[in-house]
């Protein structure tokens, strides 16, 4: 990537999409008997070096229903919009960094 | 692992919930059916879900097996095997010699509630897809 911050942003967006996939699969499995909510430890994964597949673990502290399923749609809905918003912010930041690079390329041409 | 595979996960959820809703509507429609091709009254059907791998058709062609786990599928359709409900209707053509007719054991209220659940589950999957679609759009905007 262009510089260190852009690299970090890329990692952040990568992790957000991994997490969004888990949220989507939790929602898809909201009625699957015996299914347990899965998530990643966002902070720990972010501090780890890039390129590693994030570790998926089951979430504790959720109420298990009679069929052994512990998906809470409220939790997933919150994470779904949170991830989308965070991704939005990160992509705006990335855009402004790219704009900087682009203007450096284009403005330098005239000289 | 890409955002596009998340769309397949959401789609699998929509397909499963839709199939469940179809079965529930079939149950409601057949709540009074006393004749079936198998003989006897209609029997209630329900879908059992299991988590399953989703495949994006492109991934298989591309040779790259994306991390696939996460979708949902209908693993089996259970047919209710409990005894049918017997109602005394001597005039009915399907009445037995004592005048009782075997009707399907279907609780309409229960099926209506399940139908609402299926519909909400479908909506939740649609929201997941539209949130992811928005993220994909943002990534595409980076190229502009």
Kindly give the residue spans of alpha helices, DSSP state H, lying in chain A.
4-28, 42-47, 73-109
Sign, Cα dihedral of A81, A85, A86, A88: positive
A73 band by pLDDT with thresholds 50, 70 and 90: very high
pLDDT of B84-133, one tens digit each? 999 999 999 998 999 999 999 999 999 999 999 999 999 999 999 999 99
User: Does A98 contact B12 at a Cβ distance shorter than 8 Å?
Assistant: no
B2 band by pLDDT with thresholds 50, 70 and 90: confident
Q: How near does any CA of chain B get to the CA of A111, in Å?
A: 25
Q: Which residues are CB-neighbours of A99 under 8 A, at least 6 positions away?
A: none
Give the mean pLDDT of A63-71: 91
Which domain range does residue B36 map to? 3-141
Residue A59, helix vs strand vs coil:
coil
pLDDT of B23-61, one tens digit each? 999 999 999 999 999 888 999 999 999 988 876 666 555
The reported pLDDT for the residue numbered B31 is 92
A107 band by pLDDT with thresholds 50, 70 and 90: confident
Nearest to A31 among B5, B49, B127 (CB): B49
CB–CB contacts below 8 A, A to B? 104
Kindly tell me if the per-residue pLDDT of A29 is higher than 70: yes
Is B49 at the interface with chain A, CB within 8 A?
yes
B91 class by beta-carbon count within 10 Å (0-12 exposed, 13-18 middle, 19+ buried): exposed
The reported pLDDT for the residue numbered A48 is 83
In our burial notation (b when 16+ CB lie closer than 10 A, e otherwise), range B50-59 reads: bbbebebeeb
Nearest to B128 among A23, A87, A94 (CB): A23
The reported pLDDT for the residue numbered A111 is 59
Nearest to B128 among A24, A33, A91 (CB): A24
Residue of B nearest to A25 (CA): B70
A53 band by pLDDT with thresholds 50, 70 and 90: confident
Q: Among candidates B54, B47, B51, which has minimal Cα distance to B72?
A: B51
The reported pLDDT for the residue numbered B143 is 83
Query: What ipTM was reported for this prediction?
Result: 0.83
The reported pLDDT for the residue numbered A26 is 94
Total structural domains in chain B? 1
Whole-angstrom distance, CA of residue B115 vs CA of residue B80: 17
Is B8 at the interface with chain A, CB within 8 A?
no
């Amino acid at each position: 990537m262009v510089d260190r911050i852009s690299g970090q942003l890329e990692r952040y967006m990568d992790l957000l999409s991994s997490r969004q996939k888990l949220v989507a699969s939790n929602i898809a499995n909201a009625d699957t008997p015996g299914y347990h909510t899965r998530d990643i430890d966002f902070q720990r994964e972010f501090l780890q070096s890039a390129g590693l597949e994030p570790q998926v673990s089951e979430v504790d502290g959720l109420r298990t229903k009679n069929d052994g399923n512990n998906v809470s749609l409220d939790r997933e809905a919150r994470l779904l919009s949170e991830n989308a918003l965070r991704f939005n912010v990160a992509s705006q930041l990335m855009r402004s960094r790219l704009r900087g690079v682009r203007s450096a390329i284009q403005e330098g041409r005239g000289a | 692992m890409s955002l596009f595979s998340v769309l397949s996960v959401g789609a699998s959820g929509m397909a499963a919930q839709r199939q469940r809703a179809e079965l529930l509507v079939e149950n409601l429609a057949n709540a009074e059916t006393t004749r079936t091709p198998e003989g006897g009254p209609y029997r209630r059907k329900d879908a059992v879900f299991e988590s399953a791998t989703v495949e994006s058709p492109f991934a298989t062609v591309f040779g790259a097996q994306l991390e696939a786990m996460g979708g949902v599928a209908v693993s089996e359709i259970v047919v209710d095997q409990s005894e049918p409900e017997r109602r005394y209707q001597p005039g009915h053509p399907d009445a037995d010699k004592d005048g009782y007719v075997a009707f399907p054991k279907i609780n309409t209220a229960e099926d209506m509630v399940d139908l609402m659940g299926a519909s909400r589950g479908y909506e939740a999957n649609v929201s997941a897809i539209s949130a992811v679609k928005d993220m994909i759009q943002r990534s595409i905007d980076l190229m502009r």
